[in-house]
């Protein structure tokens, strides 16, 4: 069974001709976001730009929206979301923007209506910290940064 969350969506004037974000398949986790540009934007290799989508949302308290890369753009062109995943908080009311970066070797043109990212809405947990002098032991311990499966534990210091 799928959980449905009601989210208010505002179509901004410059997005009058674009469809609302939507799931492309029955079991897709993310909705495609499209570029809402007045003119094409060329991303030279190593450059980035904030691409507007033409929509603003009002998430219910206890939810966030994550802006994630599209795998096809990454695999075929080296285009990804620079701050992936970008987080949209429940109290943000501005236009959704996508920070695209070109990690490829050739310029890439972002055009109006192009599917540029995915939007995933997810519940948020709040943390209540309980400071302690010692954490419970585990088999992994403080091993990180590639330590699993190597038999090498270790601590990483700040």
Question: pTM for the complete prediction?
Answer: 0.86
Q: For tokens 């976001």, what's the residue?
A: 33
Q: Is 2.70.40.10 the CATH number for 8-123?
A: yes
**pLDDT score for 153:** 52
Q: Which ranges of the chain have pLDDT less than 50?
A: none
Residue 51: name the closest of 101, 107, 105 by CA: 101
SS3 sequence of 90-135: CCCCCEEEEEEEECCCCCEEECCCCEEEEEEEEECCCCCCCCCCCC
């Amino acid at each position: 069974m799928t959980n449905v969350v009601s989210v208010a969506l505002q179509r901004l004037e410059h997005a009058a001709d674009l469809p609302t974000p939507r799931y492309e398949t029955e079991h897709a986790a993310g909705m495609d976001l499209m570029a809402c540009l007045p003119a094409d934007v060329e991303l030279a290799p190593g450059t980035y730009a904030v691409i507007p989508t033409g929509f603003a949302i009002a998430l219910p308290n206890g939810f966030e929206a994550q802006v994630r890369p599209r795998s096809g753009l990454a695999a075929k062109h080296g285009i990804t979301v620079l701050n992936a995943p970008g987080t949209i908080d429940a109290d943000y009311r501005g236009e959704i923007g996508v920070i695209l970066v070109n990690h490829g070797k050739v310029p890439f043109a972002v055009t109006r209506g192009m599917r540029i990212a995915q939007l995933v809405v997810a519940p948020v947990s709040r943390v209540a910290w309980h400071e302690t002098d010692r954490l419970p032991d585990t088999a992994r311990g403080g091993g990180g940064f590639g330590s699993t499966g190597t038999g090498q534990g270790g601590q990483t210091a700040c």
